Chain A
Amino acid sequence: MHLDAFDLHQPTSVEEALALAQRHAGKFDFLAGGTDLLPNYKMHLNVRPHLISLDHVAELRAFRPEAGWLGATVRLRNLEGSSTLRRRYPGIAEAAEEIATPLVRASGTVGGNLLVETRCFFFNQSYPWRQALGFCLKADGDQCHVVPQKTRCYATFSGDLAPALMVLDAHAEIAGPGGRRRVAVADLYDPKGDGVRRTKLGPGELLVGVQIPPGAEHLKAKYSKLRVRPSFDFPELGVAVALEEKGGKVARLEIALGGLETYPRLMRAQTSPLVGERLTEERVKALSEDLVKAVRPVHNTFLAPDYRRKMTGVYVRRAIGALRSGS
């Protein structure tokens, strides 16, 4: 497998990066750690002729865990290695250290993991493999092989950081041709989209970083990841929980789930009724059953969808149990 030639651009500011994006509209990808993009390019997956490297944009590398700011090209290794981050936002540190392998984390970035390409058996394959299949609607073809039809892609969202940030109500700062805006990380993803159109980022928009709001450091937070091997593997399920109890009652409970569908979901419909209630064993059990009913994984990862749904309940119960017992 070889990498086709591309033009590499190395802007030194966000503005310069955005200008390059305008100039090469539709023909570029932003390049951060490259740990996901370049292997995909080697497989000739949606290759573009221009790569705009974000490595020399100093603003994007800003890492201020004490202020809750994570620049888009902060390395995952920096997250797992920061004692400040681990103390203030343990869920994020847990998510970061479970991503891929130490080598990948040395290059991989916050932004890269938030915007990581969705994954599927029928997509993450070499060109000859996909050619023999007749391609799929996420690359070079028009047919979905997971749920056979031609309109919706079911590729699975496989980032780990997003759920951990969503439960803290973190906001993403986005720079684009129209200026800068901030949206909740939960709203970065498009529930009306699919495995192809998975975020609400406009063409030519760039993720600058993530702001965790003040106060989030007081939440108890945890991230648990289901996968076959304790290293290498993408999530088959990612469960992030943030919890605050006051006077024995729930003051705040957020749960976000990744690795199941085309985008990570903040499960407010299931968790908000519990605010103000005591978190009894029965209520936790009922909550976990509600979550199992709410998720719709498909068969395009290693473990079967029914198992991943069941584990959603188990992992949520265990995560809440661990947060409450302080382990």
Chain B
Amino acid sequence: MAGTSSRKSGSAGTPTPSSTETDLVKEAEATRASAGYHLIGKRTPLIDAALKVTGRAEYTDDIKRPGMLVGRLLKSVHPHARIRSIDVEEARRHPGVAAVLTGDRYPTPFGVLPMTHDETALAVGRVRFLGEHVAAVAAVDEETCERAFELIHVEYEPLPVYDDPKVSREPVPVKIHDRALRDTNLQKEVFQHFGDVPKALEGASQKVKLSGKYLGVSHGFTEPHCTIAEHTPDGRLTVWSATQVPHYLHRSLSEVLGMPMHRIRVVKPEVGGGFGGKSDPFPHEIACAALAIETGRPVKVLFDREDVFYLNHGRHPTQNDVTVGVDADGKFLAMDIDALIDGGAWSSFGVVTTYYNGVLAMGPYRFDNFRYHGARAYTNHPPSGAMRAHGGTNMRYTVESVVDEIAARMSFDPIELRLQNFLPPNFKTINEFRITSNSVRQCILAARDRSGWEEKYRKLPYGRGIGVACGFYISGSNSPIHFTPVFPQCTVHLKADMDAGVTIHCGAADIGQGSKTVLAQVVAEVLGIRMDRCRVAAVDSDTAPVDLGSYSSRVTFMMGNAAKAAAENLKVPLLQAASELLEVPPDRLEASEERIHVKERPSQGVPFHEALHKAMETKGALVASGAYSTKPLGGTFKGAKAGTAPAYSFSAYVAQVDVDPETGFVHVENVWAAFDCGRPLNPLAVEGQIEGSIHMGLGQLLSEGLSYRGARLMNPSLLDYKILTPMQMPKVECLLVGEDDPEGPFGAKEAGEGPLVAALPAVGNAIYDAIGVRLMDLPITPDKVLRALEEQRKKGGAVKPPAPTRPSKRTPTHGGR
């Protein structure tokens, strides 16, 4: 495999395969350009990029506090056991040890969702997975912590080990948590039924059922978890942590430590990637704070990669069955899903995950009948949690494989079959999702036209293939996790002072995705100033108003709206001041190019800083606030809020592969990634998200997976857990064809998670086109491909699947909706 990774944006110089073809990407770009924004929609390098690439950006582990101790956490050596006793006296007396804590000190359970608090800072009376923390040590250095571990005597009484979610579904002698359902080890079960699925399937002319099997996967972010805590003599606690959810951490610290929130300060320094792996408040964060309180000294807990794998919270190991029935013309009639997901030892976001595995499945397609049964099992594996495209990735692979299989069996072109079944824009789905903007048609047509689909589908030589898949994801969870007290999803504060700079305070966590840059772009756009006038203050709960966190792809949409509102509020006194200077009414003025001027006569105006200074004459620094709250959405049935979002992203990816039939190696050559994120605020960052998503998705598809023998994780290292190398990246073309969303800031929707989901099934379907085998057991390692080919040869020979025979009514790029 040659290292031929290259990148290409959809924006410039991409050749159209045929001159007769209309170019949807260029059309979308032209439409967006007509709005005339000066910063929005421009390819903008992230405002912290120069600091990061020169090593100047400060991550948690870079922070040094005077007298800081090293905190380390002793891991359980049993996957499931009662703790009969823990004797820490000898460890406490060991020279250099400042404190040793066990679970009984802060036993209050917590968790990210208020209804499922089943985690504790340290194990209380019981361990539930290998690697769970049973004691915390603060000492002068790491070596002393490890010596202290040897002096901690834990007496365990082993309990039955549950490593199979199927077993957790049955009555069990020992429940992993008392709160598990009935006499089983199920954490959550969901039943939903809309329309009449059995009847619709009975009347279907074709029914296709596929079962998918997925190993758990890890986020693979660069920066391991790290927390520093310091309890000062004024009775205040400061916690610096690598987190996506500073506000939820703030709440959990308060609840577990019994300290009021106003005496706790949570700071989020730069974060080296999260992908959902830092979106829970974690036991080690609370244990670190407890050690700081105990010792009166700053304490740092830094994970190594193995610790990260045990904390896990990665994508759930999943088994799912998806059945779709269609009529003779290829109209989708009904979808029936059964999913069993392995939650590991804790709940985490599990209630949400269990819902998402069903409610997001219909995705970009219209169904009038839908049934879902989902269950999440507790097991003695490290806890699963939220990971990029949470609950929407594994199920999407099975669904898109089913759609491809329907096309194959009914002799449709899979693009034409999808085009017949897309949800229209401005539509209410059977499970009462409100769909507003939706450019999935443009996505699939753009990917078709750019990829040369019609010359390739079923026409490439054996071993090479092309496949298509679509995607759909929430642009922010409509319902906040906490229902009381009621407050906005996001608030932004601005301060403009004598220096003519604007300081932006916001609790939104930039974890590398570029939300600070979006903040600066939005504020500068509204005020008509250069971006470098905007300074984004680090997330610090003492000064930043609350944002609920970087999860569920909510930040651009919600923070963007809040920032826009704040900037518009800040603009009011500026226009007023300029109005006084210019003696023109404020409604005839606008702000652009660092000036406030008369709309129809730009030469008549004042510089931004003069208007600002005028406005400050009596009130001093200008401050303004803006907030975004979601409106009520969704039905009234049980679980109706799950999956509701103020907008949804859509996508269609085409992938081309080269499969070696003798070795089973899959080489992904190209991905044409058409994505609808509404108006991309920063196309450069959106492309980064798409390329990163493809890298992550192909890793899960081809080689990543948490490999367990029983309850033992066999590959807790980046050598044995096989993230793709850059050498394996396909050539990616990003095609941004979305139209403005009516409620998104400047028409934007999410681009953080949605770009992942279509990548996996597009490649899976391309493999089917290449060699005629459908692989439903991820990761698709070469040995699995070879085994499938051997089965196929036994059945009659290695051939490509037949080409579609349905009369080709090729949907034109325009019209035909």
Residues of chain A having any CB pair with chain B under 8 Å: 1-2, 4, 121, 124-126, 128-129, 131-133, 226, 228-233, 302-304, 306-307, 310-311, 314
Contact = CB atoms under 8 A, between A and B. Distances in A.
B77 interface: yes
Given A2-B146, A129-B306, A132-B78, A307 B719 contact: no
B725 A229 contact: yes
A227 B781 CA distance: 11
A232 B781 contact: no
A310 B662 CA distance: 10
B488 interface: no
Nearest to A313: B662
Contact of B703 (A229, A306, A307): A229
A1 B716 contact: no
A132 B703 contact: no
A238 B664 CA distance: 17
B728 interface: yes
Given A131-B77, A304-B783, A232 B306 contact: no
Given A307-B782, A310-B786, A126 B306 contact: yes
Interface in B115-156: 130-131, 142-143, 146
Interface string B697-728: 00000010000000010101001101011011
Given A2-B146, A132-B130, A229 B783 contact: no
Nearest to A39: B719
29 contacts: A2-B142, A2-B146, A124-B719, A124-B720, A126-B716, A128-B75, A128-B77, A128-B131, A131-B77, A132-B75, A132-B76, A132-B78, A132-B130, A133-B712, A226-B663, A228-B722, A228-B782, A229-B728, A230-B1, A230-B725, A230-B728, A232-B719, A302-B722, A303-B782, A303-B783, A306-B783, A310-B786, A311-B663, A314-B662
A303 B306 contact: no
Interface residue SS majority, chain B: loop
Contacts of B306: 126, 128-129
B722 A229 contact: yes
A225 B553 CA distance: 41
Interface string B651-671: 000000000001110000000
B304 interface: yes
B324 to A, nearest CB: 33
A75 B717 CA distance: 26
Given A2-B143, A228-B781, A307-B783, A314 B663 contact: yes
Contacts of A125: 716
A76 to B, nearest CB: 17
Nearest to A301: B720
Contacts of B75: 128, 132
Contacts of A230: 1, 3, 725, 727-728
B722 A233 contact: yes
A302 B720 contact: yes
A307 B77 CA distance: 33
A131 B78 CA distance: 10
Contacts of A314: 662-663
Which residue, of A121, A124, A229, has the highest number of chain B Cβ atoms within 10 A? A229
Q: Name the 8 nearest CB pairs between A and B, nearest first.
A: A307-B783, A132-B77, A231-B725, A2-B142, A230-B727, A230-B1, A229-B725, A128-B75
B725 A232 contact: yes
Contacts of B3: 230
Contacts of A304: 783
Given A229-B728, A306-B783, 6 more contacts: A133-B712, A228-B782, A231-B727, A307-B664, A310-B786, A314-B662
Interface of B: 1, 3, 75-78, 130-131, 142-143, 146, 304, 306, 662-664, 703, 712, 714, 716, 719-720, 722, 724-725, 727-728, 781-783, 786
Contact of A303 (B712, B724, B725, B781): B781
A131 B156 CA distance: 14
Contacts of A229: 703, 722, 724-725, 727-728
Contacts of A303: 781-783
Contacts of B146: 2
Contacts of A124: 719-720
Contacts of A231: 725, 727
Which residue, of B131, B662, B728, has the highest number of chain A Cβ atoms within 10 A? B662
A304 B716 CA distance: 19
Which residue, of A126, A129, A133, A311, has the highest number of chain B Cβ atoms within 10 A? A129
Given A128-B75, A129-B716, A132-B712, A228 B703 contact: yes
A128 B714 CA distance: 13
Contacts of A232: 719, 725
A121 B714 contact: yes
Nearest to A2: B142
Contacts of A4: 143
A320 B716 CA distance: 38
Contacts of B720: 121, 124, 302
A105 to B, nearest CB: 15
A106 B75 CA distance: 35
A2 B662 CA distance: 44
A302 B715 CA distance: 9
Contacts of B1: 230
A125 B716 CA distance: 8
A250 B418 CA distance: 58
A126 B138 CA distance: 21
A126 B149 CA distance: 15
A125 B304 CA distance: 13
Contacts of B727: 229-231
A314 B660 CA distance: 11
A302 to B, nearest CB: 7
A1 B70 CA distance: 13
A1 B663 CA distance: 38
Contact of A307 (B130, B714, B716, B786): B786
Contacts of B78: 132
A313 B1 CA distance: 20
A113 B142 CA distance: 31
Nearest to B718: A232
Nearest to A133: B712
A173 to B, nearest CB: 32
A131 B75 CA distance: 11
A304 B3 CA distance: 27
Nearest to A131: B77
A2 B727 CA distance: 32
Contacts of A302: 720, 722, 781
B303 to A, nearest CB: 11
Nearest to B142: A2
A191 B103 CA distance: 52
B451 to A, nearest CB: 25
Nearest to A227: B722
A148 B77 CA distance: 21
A124 B306 CA distance: 12
A232 B724 CA distance: 10
A273 B438 CA distance: 69
Contacts of A2: 142-143, 146
A230 B703 CA distance: 12
A226 B663 CA distance: 10
Contacts of B143: 2, 4
Contacts of B725: 229-232
Contacts of B722: 228-229, 233, 302
Contacts of A133: 712
A24 to B, nearest CB: 23
A187 to B, nearest CB: 31
Contacts of B662: 314
Nearest to A42: B304
Nearest to B141: A2
A125 B720 CA distance: 10
Contacts of A121: 714, 720
Contacts of B714: 121
B306 to A, nearest CB: 5
Contact of A1 (B304, B712, B783, B786): B304
Nearest to B145: A2
